[in-house]
Structure 1
Amino acid sequence: MDHIQFALSTGQSSKTMFEDIRFVHSALPGIGLSDVSIHMETGDLQFESPVFINAMTGGGGSETANLNGMLAKAAKETGLAMAVGSQMAALKDPSERASYEIVRKENPSGFIMGNLGSEASLQQAQEAIEMLEANALQIHLNVIQELTMPEGDRDFKGALERIGLIAESVEVPIIIKETGFGISKETAELLTATQISAIDVSGFGGTNFASIENERRQRKLSYFQDWGVPTAAAIVEAKSAFSKTILASGGIRNAQEMVKAFALGASAAGLAGSFLKTAYLKGEASLIEEIQLLLEDLRMMMTALGAKKLSDLEKCPLIISGELYHYLEVRGLDPKSFARRMKN
């Protein structure tokens, strides 16, 4: 509950670099709204929608159970996949299982993602999957959060090997997810040696867990609060090295940023902070309405761009400027190439 309250009070930094992207307008898109499909097309993750509710909470007793139940009901109503927060609390204390199991209870046929940290063993991964009858498992990377957390881990050896073992041993897809500090191409290259199915870049610009953990410290580690790869850059970084599914999250607040994420190469977009705020402050009905409007806005923008399906967005020319242009240029990721793309 500390994490939820601090997430709401610290908010999102909005430094995702999506503001440095502008689409080239298509005055003759050649399609109508009824031609647009937003079905996710790629990989082992059979999402109904390209939007999903990303990992937030669990393990905080009845309050987090109620919140997860509300999110699960909204996911069921709108067809969204959903991830829970780290299940390690329930593995250590079985009385906390109910705060996670409520998700499957409220959404019995939905796509549910379990969640554990990279310190988890194969047995713990199997238990987490069983707990939710999970369709996939997120393994999160949270070095900066742990280092900032007063009681956090200080040893990160062996994480890649544990990820590799879990990915080759369990029967559901494994998603590697950062926790708000982004995935670089070097990290993505390391992950190509494993059998994971997807990378969720979870870039800088959303809920900042360094800021949250600093609220829980006497001596703040302020140098971590501006640390990480911004979300827009992280999508391009990961896409350049990893050929499977890329998921976008980290400060995504609206359909325009989702469309930009898809145009950069992401297959789906996860929202957490903005959904948390709506669910916590306004309730289930408002959250369902917000999701429905997001999906409507996504279809409208795809129509304007002449994109019948999500993958068509990767052919739409866009102009990258400002800090994102500089970032990609010095990283050797050719920002000019995005402006020269041509639709068939």
Structure 2
Amino acid sequence: MTGNRKDDHVRYAVDQQRRSAACNDFDAVNFLHHALAGIDRDTVDLGVKTPVGHWPVPLYINAMTGGSDQTGRINRQLAVAARETGLPVASGSMSAYLRDPDLGATFRTLRDENPDGVVIANVNANATVDQARRAVDLLGADALQIHLNAVQEIVMPEGDRDFAAWPGRVERIVAGAGVPVIVKEVGFGLSRRTVARLRDLGVAAADVAGRGGTNFARIENDRRPRGDYAFVDGWGQSTACCLLDAAGAGGIFLLGSGGVRSPLDVARALALGAGAVGVAGRFLGVLTDRGTEALVAEIRAWLEALTGVMTVLGAASPADLHRCDLLLTGDVAEYCRARGIDPAAYSSRSVPT
């Protein structure tokens, strides 16, 4: 049952990627061009300091899969791509392993093929401290993701229905996991209030994981015989909006993922406040259609292009993008106004005060 569901998730996710809309809220976030802002390309350093240590690049392969023979092969390919490019890589939910240890190899391959890289384990918010430690130990993980997926669970026919204990369980895992804890959504976004609560629970980093990428509510609805949860298809906030909103929480490292389609979207997410940016669906599509070598080439091309964008913008580091001027328009600007954020202020951030 679990293996079939994991394989279904991959199939539906790849299909979504192939049919995904060409636009999302990142298109309402544009850099204000200053023709004399450019710097020497050789001075650009993509390295970032995170709660999980120094990463050589501000890009990571976000949680995808594991738990079946097919998904184990995908994890092995993702691990190879991570090893060859220096990207950190996160496991998909390890609930299947926690129920059946025989499935451990489908996750362990992330470490076996990438012995010196940053590997992040992944559990759901119902996990116990002991289960969290088992997941971390299996991968020799550098950090642990806890995914929040209430919307997906409600749509999933066999999903959880009780979410009241999640905050307390997150807090206990933070205290007992033995590695930094990242909490992420699965495509519906983290609000400012949620990010602030995670900060107060001691979480090291919050991945806002907003709407715009793989839609797990749609995937689970596609698995329902009647497809009777189509009404939640547009649920949640976009990644761009979440990052703008979360800036008001303060005191916690932000990660941005969900709907990241290109190196420009990476730069946009960094400029909106993310310390690093995760990609899942786009990379899964390349891997499925063209193989591991193509994914390695794609990631290297993204890093090359991101360096070029930063050169033009005068950003010698990813953190420097936080000071670049942005024009926020359309639904993103409207969201800002509704949440008490001045979108015009982002257009003059580079002006000395």
Question: TM-score band, normalised by the shorter chain?
Answer: over 0.9
Q: Does 1:206 align with 2:201?
A: no
Matches within 5 A, 1:256-335: 256-335=264-343
Deviates more, 1:80-89 or 1:2-11: 2-11
TM-score normalized by structure 1?
0.97
Q: CA RMSD in A?
A: 1.2
Once the 2 structures are TM-superposed, how far is the Cα of residue 254 of structure 1 from its aligned partner? 0.5
* Cα distance in structure 2, aligned partners of 1:65 and 1:343: 50
Once the 2 structures are TM-superposed, how far is the Cα of residue 10 of structure 1 from its aligned partner? 2.3
Q: Percent identity?
A: 41
Deviates more, 1:133-142 or 1:328-337: 328-337
Structure 2 alignment gaps of length 5 or more: 1-6
TM-score normalized by structure 2?
0.95
Give the partner amino acid of 1:31. Answer: I
Q: Does 1:2 align with 2:8?
A: yes
1:252 to 255, 260, 268: 260
Cα pair distance change 1:273/1:119, threshold 3 Å: same
1:193-230 CA deviation, whole Å, 9 max, x = no partner?
A: 11111000000010000110111002320111110111
Partner of 2:249 in structure 1? Answer: 241
Give the partner amino acid of 2:268. Answer: K
1:133-162 CA deviation, whole Å, 9 max, x = no partner?
A: 000000000001000101111110110111
1:158 to 165, 169, 179: 165
Once the 2 structures are TM-superposed, how far is the Cα of residue 236 of structure 1 from its aligned partner? 1.3
1:338 to 338, 341, 346: 346
Cα pair distance change 1:44/1:145, threshold 3 Å: same
Partner of 1:130 in structure 2? Answer: 137
Q: How many residues align?
A: 343
| Residue aligned with 2:311, SS | helix
* Cα distance in structure 2, aligned partners of 1:341 and 1:43: 26
* Cα distance in structure 2, aligned partners of 1:217 and 1:65: 25
Partner of 1:192 in structure 2? Answer: 199
Partner of 1:111 in structure 2? Answer: 118
| Residue aligned with 2:315, SS | coil
* Cα distance in structure 2, aligned partners of 1:131 and 1:22: 42
1:270-310 CA deviation, whole Å, 9 max, x = no partner?
A: 00001101111110100000000000010000000011111
* Cα distance in structure 2, aligned partners of 1:32 and 1:208: 40
Maintained 8 Å contact 2:38/2:312 = no
Maintained 8 Å contact 1:53/1:272 = yes
Partner of 2:87 in structure 1? Answer: 80
Matches within 5 A, 1:170-189: 170-189=177-196
Cα pair distance change 1:43/1:126, threshold 3 Å: closer
* Cα distance in structure 2, aligned partners of 1:59 and 1:182: 25
Q: Does 1:217 align with 2:224?
A: yes
* Cα distance in structure 2, aligned partners of 1:14 and 1:209: 19
* Cα distance in structure 2, aligned partners of 1:13 and 1:210: 17
Maintained 8 Å contact 1:38/1:310 = yes
Maintained 8 Å contact 1:14/1:251 = no
Give the partner amino acid of 2:70. Answer: E
Maintained 8 Å contact 2:51/2:180 = no
Q: Does 1:56 align with 2:64?
A: yes
